[in-house]
Structure 1
Amino acid sequence: MHPLDVVKTRFQIQRCATDPNSYRSLGESFQMIFQREGLFGFYKGILPPILAETPKRAVKFFTFEQYKKLLGYVSLSPALTFAIAGLGSGLTEAIIVNPFEVVKVGLQANRNKFAEQPSTMGYARQIIKKEGWGLQGLNKGLTATLGRHGVFNMVYFGFYYNVKNMIPVNKDTTLEFLRKFGIGLLSGTIASVINIPFDVAKSRIQGPQPVPGEIKYRTCFKTMAAVYQEEGILALYKGLLPKIMRLGPGGAVMLLVYEYTYSWLQENW
């Protein structure tokens, strides 16, 4: 799935369609990356998400369950409980992953040959040395990351559990699996469509600036406004197709693994 993430980031940070380095389609992006950067070009920035994946997923699902329990003390509808618990889990998750995202996006934006770009640790040290650990350095784009993960998880969990509870359980195990997979696929897809403006803002803030040495994209909502004013509303949806291709089925698989693992643990422990 990582090649789709690289392509998504490249689409989100490109500004001018007339630039000869711009990608005009998903197919062209794969072709140009392969021709100019080789096969390993599709795996730039892969180490940060690998390092963050286990704690990220653990935080996502653990905090979702904890927020659900806390919200149980408040008189809320189940629909609202799932959505708010999802929002809380996304905001918590975002704080954990943001430094990894800063390093990942910077490496993905680099169009040099894979062997010519700095290592993950080397690039992280560069950021810390030049810009520090704070909101201008290793934690830049935090507000956009909070928005991206908060909105995604709010829709993702809220839609999945509410729709799943509305559709009757199927006694056939295969059909039941497909029922859950289909709802999970829709959950990941809809959440991706709704949260992508935050994703574009995050990539612009964390990626290379249009003019070296000048910070144009600094804050989340000002970045969204600038993108909208200069490039139009559709620019806030750049990279949507590769994002859906990755997080639609990926989101379904993640929920199914979580649900079946959770059920197994409840039965056996």
Structure 2
Amino acid sequence: MSFFFLISGFTSCSLTNPIWFVKTRLQLDQKRNNRLTVRECIRQINEQHGIRGFYKGITASYYGMAETVIHFVIYEAIKARLQERYSGDSTNWTDFLRCMVAGATSKTIATCVAYPHEVARTRLREEGTKYRSFFQTLLVVYKEEGRAGLYRGIGTQLVRQIPNTAIMMATYELVVYLFSDSH
């Protein structure tokens, strides 16, 4: 199962990185008078770096797959403990609340562990040559900004991801429950 997860994650990162790269470049565009259009951004990247330019920061995306692995391992462990503790209870809405708590907790831990890859990926997508590779970028950020630099923006990430993941995991469990033969 985890092998297929890694293959699908690798494929997804590889195919969608150009889209995310352009999005990040447009977000970082600071020309006040003349904002880049998507077409201009794509042309500029292609002219400056060719097709390879659209894959800048992809190694950080590959490292980011670890966040999802950590999240699911912790989620399944928490869910198993909750099921063990509350076994014998009939399935009701509190089961889905427990799944929400398990999802929120596991995603919080995974995000806190793996967040520096988000910073590295964004920095690698900036224009310029200061950041050249994943580990070099982490080292430069750490040297120049300390640990806080590696976690810049994590608060916003958690505010967005925790409720999203809690709802997503509870919804997933509800759908599995509704389509299972055991209810």
Query: TM-score w.r.t. structure 2 length?
Result: 0.84
**1:185·1:248 contact (CA, 8 Å) conserved in 2?**
yes
Q: What is the match of residue 27 of structure 2?
A: 108
In 1, Cα distance between the equivalents of 2:39 and 2:173?
35
**1:89·1:153 contact (CA, 8 Å) conserved in 2?**
no
Cα deviation for residue 183 of structure 1 reads: 0.6
**2:107·2:161 contact (CA, 8 Å) conserved in 1?**
yes
Unaligned segments of structure 2, at least 5 residues? none
Identical positions, percent: 30
RMSD between aligned alpha carbons?
2.4
**1:185·1:251 contact (CA, 8 Å) conserved in 2?**
yes
**1:151·1:194 contact (CA, 8 Å) conserved in 2?**
no
1:127 alignment partner, one of 45, 48, 56: 45
Q: Which amino acid aligns with 1:146?
A: Y
Cα deviation for residue 266 of structure 1 reads: 5.0
Query: TM-score w.r.t. structure 1 length?
Result: 0.59
Cα distance, 1:265–1:162 mapped onto 2, change above 3 Å: same
Cα deviation for residue 259 of structure 1 reads: 3.3
**2:29·2:36 contact (CA, 8 Å) conserved in 1?**
no
Q: How does 1:1-269 map to 2 (within 5 A)?
A: 67-68=1-2, 89-112=8-31, 116-134=34-52, 137-148=53-64, 150-168=65-83, 170-171=89-90, 173-209=92-128, 215-265=129-179
**2:99·2:173 contact (CA, 8 Å) conserved in 1?**
no
In 2, Cα distance between the equivalents of 1:261 and 1:239?
33
Cα distance, 1:102–1:151 mapped onto 2, change above 3 Å: same
Cα deviation for residue 245 of structure 1 reads: 0.6
- Larger CA deviation: 231-240 vs 166-175: 166-175
In 2, Cα distance between the equivalents of 1:255 and 1:111?
37
**1:152·1:192 contact (CA, 8 Å) conserved in 2?**
yes
In 1, Cα distance between the equivalents of 2:158 and 2:18?
23
Cα distance, 1:157–1:143 mapped onto 2, change above 3 Å: same
In 1, Cα distance between the equivalents of 2:22 and 2:51?
12
* Secondary structure, counterpart of 1:167 in structure 2: helix
Aligned residue pairs, count = 177
Unaligned segments of structure 1, at least 5 residues? 1-66, 71-84, 210-214
